Structures are given as structure tokens and as C-alpha cells.
Structure 1
Amino acid sequence: MTSSLVTSVTIDHSDRLRSVPDDRYNRERGIHLRFIQVGNRFLVQAWGSAFPEDGGGGYQGTLSLSVDVVRDGIEDLRAVWQRELIDHVDPGVRPTRRPFVDEWDLSAPAEHERADRAALALARAGYTLFCLLFANGDAGLKEIADHLTRALRGGEHVITVESDDVFVPWCMLYVPLSDQDSVWASGYRWRPEGFWGYQHLVEHNFSRWPGFDSRIALPGALARVGLNVDHRVDEEYPPTPYVAPVVDFFTENAVTTVRTSKVALAEAMRDPAFADHIVYFGCHGRVGGTDERAYLVLADDEKIYGTEVLAWLSGMALPSSPVVFVGACQGGQLASVFYPAFGHHLLHHGARCLVGPQIDLPRAFARVYALRLFAAFLVPHTRLGDAVRGLTREFLDRYRNPLGLIFSLYRGIDVHLAPGEGV
């Protein structure tokens, strides 16, 4: 005799059993690369779904170029972006016009040729650095490059590049979509999908930090934001509202503390009750003197060095594990000489993520980018990496502006606000 089982569903989170919900908050990386300095060379390791398990062991190769040559190549890439986007002045136009600085929307038909010409130069520079990093090494590196190129052309990936030794603007790298395409051909047409930061979710990470959690637990309905700013930025010629609109936005949408001095920032970071979920710098960043030491400056004109931040955090960690956003104007060189120290100190003293630009940040663009980024990120469960990539695509597709690609995430693809979670 056959009996039938009697069942009933009282709570169903799977759409009538048609799907199983995925509540993982850290995504698997399809591409994970590691660069380790060994002597005067870099050892490159790779794993993830883009690198098939074939029984032959792990993927590893050696970059034959010296450390100095690699770092020169990185600076060459930044120099092209700085020249094409920030320093470019329309010839013969009076008063002087810098299209990517004075404006952020370049979607008008009259701007198309200029925007495409700049993007082609950026694509060529991005592919040049890609070749420098992955086409100059031993057989192991070639194998990594072959799998990497195939994966990059095959669709979207989640990418982590880990290194304490070299800091590449990964989102600005470019790979043509076919072996038949030569970026140096006179008729080459660049494609937005060739840029890493447009097609993929990309982060730079440091060596492992145990206990990392992508969830920012909110004790209440609103995030707490520390705004470390210099309002004088808005008054510089030509007067451009940047800091004030950002302060107004956060004041309306978060619990906000405004700091304008080095002493106030130091006091806050030293406080065991430090509660910022987002730490925002809307100020100046500069490289000063012959020693090329970089620093941030708030309204009191006191230089803030990365070593001082380390001293403030000695023996302690930021209890709120914040996201740190560096929106420092005139701070392009910070990417190479400030983020490695500043970001490393913050991430190893509790910060969850650091976001910052790789070249000088125009104020008009900075305002719109910050407002749109945090309007998206303040929505609970919106992952920071998705918000960054979404903006990159919007600016390039809709406004023909590639500046979204200049932002790098130092850890944090999956970071999100998680109200009510006991993390």
C-alpha cells in the first residue's frame, strides 16, 4: 500500500520552492591575483574560477621587469590620464576651457569627438600597462596571462588583486575584446567593456586581515558620517560648489559630524567611542617638498601625514570599522605615495575599506560623483563595489565621461550597510 505524505508550507523564502535564496554577503572572486616583491622582481600568483584546476598545481610566475620599471609604468599610465582629462585645454578657446574639469556632462554631440579621442588614448595606455605587467615574464606568467585575458573577454568577474608592494590603478587597465583587435591600429575603436573598472568588480587588497566583515552594522536607522573638510575648496577659482553640497546631503541623510581641523580629527580617531560608519575627506591632498611626502590639509592648514594617522591609532582599532572616502582635490599623486601608507594604516587599524582617485579630482565631477555614490550606498544592503561600478558605467555610457574609472577600492567590493544585524 502506497501512502502519500501530507505537507504544508508555513514560511517560504524561496519563491514557492522555485529558487533557493543566496544570503551570502561575500562573493567568490573569479580572479584573484597576488603580487609579491622578491628582491628586485615581482612573483605573481593566481587562483579562482578563471584559472582551472587541471591537476598541474597552482598558478605562479615571475615578472622579469625590475620593480622600478613596473612603478614607472604605473606612473606613465596616471600621467596619460592626467594629461588627457585634467590638463587638456581646448585650443583657441577664450576664456580657457578644460572640458573634463569645468564640466562633468560631455554628452552633447559637439563633445563626442573629443571624448572618444581621449578615451582611445586612455585605452591604449591601459593596455600598455597590462602588457607590461603580464607579457614580460617566464612561462608561468604567460600561462596566467592567457587564462586572465580569456576570462576578461568572456564576461563579468569579481577581481581581487592583493599586494603590499605594488599599487596599480586596476580599474584603468584595458584589454581589447579580441586578439584580432590592435589598440595601435589607426582605425581601432575602443570599447568600454575593455576597461577593467567598467566590466568587472575590482578591488586592491593588502595581506590578510583576520576577522574582516563586509557588513556595517547600524544601531539605528541612519549611518553616522564624519565629514573632514575644508570649505575653502569651493571658493577657489573658478568658484565651484563641492564641499558644501556634500555636507548638506549627508546632513539630510545621516547623523553627521563636521571636522575642519587636524586636532579635531586626531581627537576623534583617538576616542574609544569613535562611531563614524563613513569617514569622508573633502579637502586638499598634496605632495610636498623634495622628500615627496604626501599629506591631507583641512581648513586649519595643518598637514596630516600618514605616519601621524598611524600614531593616533597606535594600540587601538577604529571600533566602528568605517568606509573611508578620500575626495581630495589636487590630490592625484596621493595614489602612489599616500594611499599605500594611509590606506594600509587605516585598514590594519579597523577601517573596512578606502576609496580614492588615482589622478587629480575635478570639483564639478567630485560633487556629482559623491552625491550619487552615497545616495546609492546609503540604501541598506547596497554593496559598495556595485555602486562604484554602476556609476562608472553611467558616467561613461550616458555622459561620455571616463572619470568614474579613476576611483580605486582598497578592499570593499562587498561592503554594505546592514541595519539591525548583530555583527
Structure 2
Amino acid sequence: MTRELPAEVTIDHTDGLSRVAGASYNRARTINLRFIELPSGQGYLVQAWGTAFPEDGGGGYQGRLLRPVEDVNASIDVLRKAWQSSVIEHKYADPDTKRIHHPFADGWNLASRALLDRVALPLARAGYNTFKLLFGGRDEGLQTIRALLLAALCRGANVISIESDTLMVPWGMLYTAPVGEPAYPAENSWSFDGFWGYRHVIEHTFTRIGDFDSRIHLDDRQVVVGLNMDHNVDQQYPRTPYIAPIIDFFTERAKVVLRRNKNELADAFQDPLFPDHITFFGCHGKVAAFENPYLQLGDSEKIYGADILAWLADAPLATRPFVFVGACQGGQVCSAFYSAFGKALLNNGARCLIGPQVDLPPAFACEYSRRLFTDFLEPGAKLGDIVRSLARTFVDEHSNPLGLMFSLYRGMDVHLWTQ
């Protein structure tokens, strides 16, 4: 006689048998760094853990970056300006036509390794200087972190998460020399392998949030893409159209919701049935010294971070979308732009965000967007791997360093999930 034993489910880790118990969709990080701002802007408390920091029985790794916060931010701005001046604003005059060309802004496939190497050396030096400012100093704890960090970075590729709510660094632009090269980049003694964004998978994270899921669930296997677009961009840059090609790209591959003005965006963000799995901004953006940063769609109405906070005050974005910011002149996602838009979105439902660190040329924006989403629309493809792969591809195959200027926020393991 078969007996049935009484059973009661008290904890169900399978979500009603809809997933395998204990399954993890996130990779282990080899390097975790946390920067906590000290009182009165005196610097940062730095904490480190992960396989790069061995357990030796001596306790956790911790040090202090004793530089005023304003000085640290100023050094980060110098790094961004180096990219802006050396790459985006690089120009030459055609000897025959006398026409001024901006090779990195006019196109994306340069096919000139000599030009790439020439502009990249000052970028490597600026990236190295910023690394030294962030991890240098006389504090013994920070010196230990720096030594172990350099050893891990030199050994090979790492999976890196940097957590801070206030320190915003273009981590992919930092430079630490590979094995066998001098610490300070010199002529013929540097390589792209030293750029963090070329060699490693990196994300910037923030104070922990509960119930984070790296999977974007597609119940009916159809991706919904919200395109928040400004067609005026193509009128301003008719030789390198960006908006129309991206609309065509997504229309062929997903269900598209097109929003052309501020009112349509406001209605969408306040709709309990907000549909986006991917929220894409292709528009004008502005970060100015004496005005709050803003975005503009086709109606040219300014969209401030305060608008987004108001629209999402009652409820977050229900689908927790992946947000891509492809705003021309909308660089500086960290600092002023991040504070206005990135933080507002990530704290109110956005699952992750990608944005540029310097001005985004439309030609490159278009090609980068198409390649990133061609890969991401394949279920299971993880965002962090795609970002690193694109950085390498543009350097290796197209002599273009601009793939390194995109930063990924809280989302290296984010992917589409159809099961």
C-alpha cells in the first residue's frame, strides 16, 4: 500500500515552479569596488572585495582616498575633455579642397590605424592619470587595494562592478598598462589592452535595491521598443542621418511605440500599462554650465530630470526597461546629466542604462545602436559582453575608439528572457 506523506510548502524558490530553484543569471564579479563619500567632501572611503582580493584572514580590504571631492571631479572632467578634444573635435584640412574634416564625427569606419594610434596615446595617458588620482596616495589601505587591483588587471580580463552613489567615473576610459609595458604610456609602449573598457566587462552600480532581476521577461516573445525621437536631428545632420535609420531598424525587428514630443513621453511614463522592454532616446540633449541638463524631442520642449521625477512619483516604470540614451550633445551621463536623468530613471523603475561620456556624433550613434541591439535582441545575450565586444570591434576593425565612451549602469548581466 502506497502512503502519501503530508507536505506543506513554506518557501518556494521556484516562483510557482516557473523557474529552476537556485538558478543564477548573474556572473560572479572578480573585482568589486565601493566608493563612499566622506563627510564634508573630504574624499572617499574605498572598499574592495572579489577573487582579486584574496582572503588572508586579515579582514576586509578598505582604504581612504583623501582628495577633496571637487578635485576628484575636476580630474574626471579633464579625462572627458581629453576625449572630446582629441577625438570628437579632431580635424584636418583637405589639401586639395581646403575643406575641414572631423574624421571621428563625420563617419564611423576610419580605416586609419595610424590616425587612431596618434589620437589614442593622449587618451591612454589621461586614463592612467585618472587611475592614479583615484587609487593613489599615502593611505596604506588604499595602497594595498591598488597593488592587488593592478595585479589582477594585468593578469587578464576581469568582471568589474564599481558602486557609488556620488562618484561618477567613465571607467571604460581608465588605463592601466598590460604586462611588459611601462606604467605611464609612452610612444610605442602602450596598447588598447590597457583601457579598462577594451579588456574588461564593467558596470557602475549603486546602493543595493531589492528584487533586482537581470532578465527582461518576454511573455509573448515579442520585444516592445519605445522610441523617443527627435527628427530634427536628421535635419541638422543630413549627411549622417540617425533617427530615421534607427526607426526603420527597430520596426523590422520589434513592436515599436513611437513618441515624438514631451506630452507623449509624459503620458507613457505615467501609464500603469507602460509597455517598453527597451526605452530608446534618440534626440537632442544639452549639458550647459548655467542651466539644468535637458533632452528635447521633436517639439523642442525641454525635458528636465525634474519632469521625469514628477511623472514617476506615484509609480515606477512597470516593465523595468533597459534605457539607452543616444542623445547628440547629451554626453556627460555622469555628473550633471546623470544626476538629472540617469538617477531619476534608475531609481524609478529602469533596470539598467547605457549612455555616452562625451558628445555623440550621429554617424557613430547610428552604427553603434544598430550593432548593440542586433546582438541584444538575441535572447540570452548579456549586455556587458556586448558593450565590451563592440568596444573591441570598433578599435580592431574600424580604427575608432568611440566604443569606449559608452558606460553601462547596473546591468552587465541584463538580457532578454523568453522561457
TM-score clears 0.5:
yes
Q: How far has the Cα of 1:180 moved from its partner? A: 5.1
Q: How far has the Cα of 1:237 moved from its partner? A: 4.1
**Post-superposition CA distance 1:214-241 (Å, at most 9, x none):** 0000021221000000011011145321
1:286·1:333 contact (CA, 8 Å) conserved in 2?
Answer: no
Q: How far has the Cα of 1:332 moved from its partner? A: 2.2
Aligned mates of 1:371, 1:235 — CA distance in 2: 20
Q: Show structure 1 runs of 4+ deviating over 6 A.
A: none
Structure 2 unaligned regions, length at least 5: 1-21
Aligned mates of 1:97, 1:335 — CA distance in 2: 29
1:218·1:419 contact (CA, 8 Å) conserved in 2?
Answer: yes
Structure 1 partner of 2:129: 128
Structure 2 partner of 1:223: 223
Q: How far has the Cα of 1:190 moved from its partner? A: 2.1
Matching of residues 86-97 of structure 1 within 5 Å: 86-91=88-93, 93=95, 94-97=98-101
Structure 2 partner of 1:315: 314
Structure 2 partner of 1:372: 371
Aligned mates of 2:181, 2:311 — CA distance in 1: 54
Structure 1 partner of 2:270: 270
Aligned mates of 1:92, 1:375 — CA distance in 2: 35
Aligned mates of 1:289, 1:191 — CA distance in 2: 35
1:285·1:334 contact (CA, 8 Å) conserved in 2?
Answer: no
Aligned mates of 1:331, 1:260 — CA distance in 2: 18
1:286·1:334 contact (CA, 8 Å) conserved in 2?
Answer: no
Structure 2 partner of 1:119: 120
Matching of residues 229-240 of structure 1 within 5 Å: 229-237=229-237, 239-240=239-240
Structure 1 unaligned regions, length at least 5: 1-21
Q: How far has the Cα of 1:267 moved from its partner? A: 0.5
Matching of residues 21-420 of structure 1 within 5 Å: 24-39=24-39, 40-91=42-93, 93=95, 94-107=98-111, 111-178=112-179, 181-185=182-186, 187-237=187-237, 239-288=239-288, 290=290, 292-420=291-419
Q: How far has the Cα of 1:281 moved from its partner? A: 0.2
Tell me the amino acid that sits aligned with residue 406 of structure 2.
Answer: F
**Post-superposition CA distance 1:250-292 (Å, at most 9, x none):** 11100100101111001000000001000000001102462x4
Give the % identical residues: 53
2:287·2:329 contact (CA, 8 Å) conserved in 1?
Answer: no
TM-score under structure 2 length normalisation: 0.91
Tell me the amino acid that sits aligned with residue 97 of structure 1.
Answer: H
Q: How far has the Cα of 1:91 moved from its partner? A: 4.2
Q: How far has the Cα of 1:209 moved from its partner? A: 0.6
Structure 2 partner of 1:8: none
**Post-superposition CA distance 1:198-222 (Å, at most 9, x none):** 1111000110011100000002122
Mark the CA change 1:370 to 1:237 in structure 2 (over 3 Å): closer, same or farther.
closer
Aligned mates of 2:237, 2:351 — CA distance in 1: 35
**Post-superposition CA distance 1:374-422 (Å, at most 9, x none):** 00000000001111111111101111111000000011000000013xx
2:293·2:340 contact (CA, 8 Å) conserved in 1?
Answer: no
Tell me the amino acid that sits aligned with residue 103 of structure 1.
Answer: G
SS of structure 1 residue aligned to 2:334: helix
Aligned mates of 2:331, 2:149 — CA distance in 1: 29
Q: How far has the Cα of 1:92 moved from its partner? A: 5.5
Aligned mates of 1:88, 1:409 — CA distance in 2: 26
Q: How far has the Cα of 1:23 moved from its partner? A: 5.7
